[in-house]
Amino acid sequence: MKQNKILLILVFFSIVSVLSMNIPLIAEQQDDIHINPVTLSTYAEYYHRVNFDDELTILYPRSSIPVILEPDQSFIIQFTSIAFDSLTAEISTAYDAIPDNILLSIDSIHQEQDVMYATATIPVETPQELYNITLTIESEGEIYSTTRPRAVSIKDAIDDSFTFIHLADFHIGDPRGLIENPKETIGWKAARKVIEEVNLLNPDFVIISGDLVFGQMYPFEYTLEYKKCYDILQEFDVPTFLCPGNHDGYIQTGQDGLRFWEDYFGPVYYSFDYGNMHFLSVNSYDWPAFDRLGFSYIVLNWGGSVQDAQMQWIADDLDEHIDADQTLMMMHHNPLWDTTGDSLLKKGYQGQDELLNLIRTKGVDGIFAGHVHYDNVTIDNGTTYITTTTLASSLDHDAYWGYRLVEVEENVFSSYNYKEPKYSVPSYHINIIEQDATSITIENLLDTPMDILVEFVVPNEVYTVNHGSIIQIREKEEMAAVYVLATLPQQTTTSITLS
């Protein structure tokens, strides 16, 4: 009887979820979203699979693999393009009420195979913010322009002490959250609430280790869910790095989830640096096509797999970054755990032994995983394996919806538990009670003080603040964006007011 009730709930939610997305059940993919190869040598195979038929497409950076820089630093923009006579690059504040538009200097341009590489430099006076990037070309008298949102983050200084947040199992489209809280599941409220809290906490960046969508309910589901997930992710005010999980990569009704991933988010594995810390984003659902087949709720495998090509890339990448102060990996499936039970074919974690050998012998300091919807911390051979609960789906063991705040001191991650020995920060504990143009009231229901950042958009005048300190002001004509850094004491409600 209980199973029948749950099934009825899931059927009901499948209808509600389609309606809440406000787009047709069968929709075409966006034409201007393509694969983002981080390096030509690593992701050359994608060029043989995808046709870049637009006049101009930015491959890197993008919102799922952004670049984080200081003013006066240079970076490489990867793009495809028709032949052009001139090229300009510009960054503009992302979804901001007071936009800044900043022209970049193009230092050099070269081409390798079908990809163009433009080296651009951030101007010295660029304010600290998250920016969209726009490329514009002139070709035979015609102007073409394209933009990637939230692709460039400018920091006044990239320090060796910073914070990042780990999220797992985002699960846009997943009906199982109804079992925990129907009110917060419909309309993806739980996911959006976590984004609101993360924006207040203002980490240097966010990593999300898999299962961003569901992909296991109705025909052509990925068409809806990837578009909705992409849109929701744009609500982050901080840079986000993503890796896929099993729900992101099923092959259902002729749709390959990993191809959707590449279209919306870029390559399924890559690496990046923050200061002198090195991060690898690993695809732990690296099964051949047959093993990723699914028929609605019935899928062949949902456990871990890392195949030979990616394994060799991991080994090479670790060798190339041996001098990093610390090396961290994010992936969906914790490589310590057997996933034979996550397969109708009883296939265990493919490549598990080789992956663990690389982790143990090449000095990987930390692993950030998800998949199981509960918290866990295990230390093995000097490596800390951290699994974080889901923020919106069903729960197991003693879990709750939440996210993990990680503190790094002198390029060593030193704090990752909200409560010992393993627990992440519960969501719905940092809440905006009231807000207007010059005031915000926030309650902190957690058992620890939390530092938050608030932006006020106000007339361009001189202000003081009653709680916290003004750390940055961006002025534009008669208006100004005033940024206030404040500490919320535990178990209290705090009002922050400009005057």
Higher pLDDT, 128 or 39: 128
- Bigger pLDDT: 5 or 372? 372
Whether residues 48 and 70 share a domain: the answer is: yes
* Residue 280, token pair as written in the block: 């690898």
Q: Are residues 409 and 356 in the same domain?
A: yes
In-domain check, residue 173: yes
Query: Which residues, 6 or more positions from 465, have their beta carbon under 8 angstroms from its beta carbon?
Result: 484, 486, 496, 497, 498, 499
Residue 33, pLDDT > 70, answer no
- In the numeric block, the tokens 């060799």 are attached to 312
Could you read off the pLDDT of 168-206 as tens digits, one per residue? 999 999 999 999 999 999 999 999 999 999 999 999 999
- Across 122-234, the runs of DSSP E, i.e. the strands, are 129-139, 142-154, 162-167, 205-209
What gap in Å lies between CA 151 and CA 161, rounded to an integer?
A: 22
Given a contact cutoff of 8 angstroms between Cβ atoms, the answer to whether 175 and 14 are in contact is yes
- Is residue 36, in this structure, part of any structural domain at all? no
**Residue 401 in domain:** yes
Q: Which pLDDT score is estimated for 52?
A: 55
Confidence band, pLDDT 50/70/90 cuts, at residue 53: low
Q: What pLDDT was estimated at residue 9?
A: 44
**pLDDT, mean of residues 11-21:** 41
- For residue 378, how many other CB atoms are within 10 A of its CB? 14
> Is 203 within a domain?
yes
Asked if 98 contacts 481 with a C-beta cutoff of 8 angstroms, the reply is yes
Within this chain, do residues 166 and 50 fall inside the same structural domain, yes or no?
Answer: no
- φ, ψ at 475 (rounded to 5°): -105, 140
Whole-number Å distance between alpha carbons of 448 and 431: 15
Cβ neighbors of 234 (< 8 A, separation 6 or more) are 63, 94, 95, 149, 150
Segment 467-471 mean pLDDT: 98
Which of these three, 154, 187, 214, is where a domain ends?
Answer: 154
Cβ neighbours for 142, distance < 8 A, ≥ 6 positions apart: none
pLDDT of the residue at 114:
85
The total number of structural domains in the chain stands at 3
330 located within any domain: yes
Q: What does the pLDDT average to over 58-75?
A: 96
* Sign of the Cα pseudo-torsion (304, 206, 269, 281, in order): negative
Instruction: Tell me: do 166 and 150 sit in the same domain.
Output: no
What is the average pLDDT score of the chain? 90
Q: Tell which of 389, 408, 426 closes a domain.
A: 426
Here the contacts of 347-354 (C-beta below 8 Å, separation 24 or greater) are 347/291, 347/301, 347/303, 347/305, 348/303, 349/303, 349/304, 349/305, 350/286, 350/287, 350/304, 350/305, 350/306, 350/307, 351/286, 351/305, 351/306, 351/307, 351/308, 351/311, 352/304, 352/306, 354/306, 354/311
Residue 473 belongs to what domain range? 431-497
Residue 286 lies in a domain: yes
Residues 134-159: tens digit of each pLDDT: 999 999 999 999 999 999 999 999 99
| Bigger pLDDT: 32 vs 304 | 304
Do residues 351 and 453 both lie within one domain? no
Q: Are residues 183 and 265 in the same domain?
A: yes
Say whether pLDDT at 37 is over 70. Answer: no
Q: Do strands 383-387 and 366-369 pair parallel, antiparallel, or not at all (unpaired)?
A: parallel
Q: pLDDT band at residue 282, thresholds of 50, 70 and 90?
A: very high
Query: Do both 262 and 365 map to the same domain?
Result: yes
- One-character DSSP codes across 434-457: EE-SSEEEEEE-SSS-EEEEEEEE
pLDDT score, position 93? 96
The mean pLDDT of 396-404, rounded to a whole number, is 96
Whether residue 97 is found in the same domain as residue 114: yes
- Lowest-confidence segment of 14-23, 49-58, 84-93, 185-194 by average pLDDT: 14-23
* Cα three-residue angle 418-421-423, rounded to 5 degrees: 40
Nearest CA to 55 out of 135, 109, 117, 126 is that of 135
368 and 454 both lie in a single domain: no
Question: Position 155: which residue type?
Answer: K
Paired strand residues for 105: 121
Average pLDDT over residues 256-260: 97
Whole-angstrom Cα distance, residue 184 to residue 193?
Answer: 9
Tell me the two tokens of residue 85.
């006579």
Determine the pLDDT at residue 113.
85
pLDDT of 166 reads 98
Say yes or no: 170 and 288 in one domain: yes
- Mean pLDDT of the region 46-64: 75
Q: Is the pLDDT of residue 99 over 60?
A: yes
> Distance between CA atoms of 371 and 381, rounded to whole angstroms?
22
Answer yes or no: is pLDDT of 6 > 90: no
- The closest alpha carbon to 107, from 116, 122, 90, 119, belongs to 119
Vertex 433 angle, CA 432 and 436, to 5°:
85
Q: How far apart are the C-alpha atoms of 443 and 292, rounded to whole Å?
A: 44
CA distances from 206 to 129, 168, 424 (A): 15, 11, 14
What is the model's pLDDT at position 160?
A: 96
CATH of the domain at 368: 3.60.21.10
- Measured between its terminal Cα atoms, the distance across the chain in Å is 60
Of the residues 154, 184, 205, the one at which a domain ends: 154
Question: Stretch 472-487: mean pLDDT, rounded?
Answer: 96
DSSP-based three-state secondary structure for 393: coil
Q: Taking Cα atoms as reference points, which of 425, 427, 405 lies closest to residue 416? A: 405
pLDDT surpassing 80 at residue 15: no
User: What is the C-alpha separation between 398 and 302, in angstroms, rounded?
Assistant: 22
Query: Is 30 within the bounds of a domain?
Result: no
Q: What is the pLDDT of residue 159?
A: 95
Task: Write out pLDDT tens, residues 307-334.
Answer: 999 999 999 999 999 999 999 999 999 9
Q: Is the pLDDT of residue 292 over 50?
A: yes
**What number is the average pLDDT over the span 422-438?**
98
Determine the distance from the C-alpha atom of residue 390 to the mean position of all C-alpha atoms in its chain, rounded to a whole number: 14
Sign of the dihedral through C-alpha 388, 390, 396, 401: positive
Closest C-alpha among 146, 90, 143 to residue 120: 90
**Is residue 349 domain-shared with residue 414, that is, in the same domain?**
yes
For residues 340 and 326, state if they share a domain. yes
Diameter of the chain by CA atoms?
69
CA atoms within 13 A on the CB side of 233: 30
Task: Specify the pairing of strand 162-167 against strand 402-409.
Answer: antiparallel
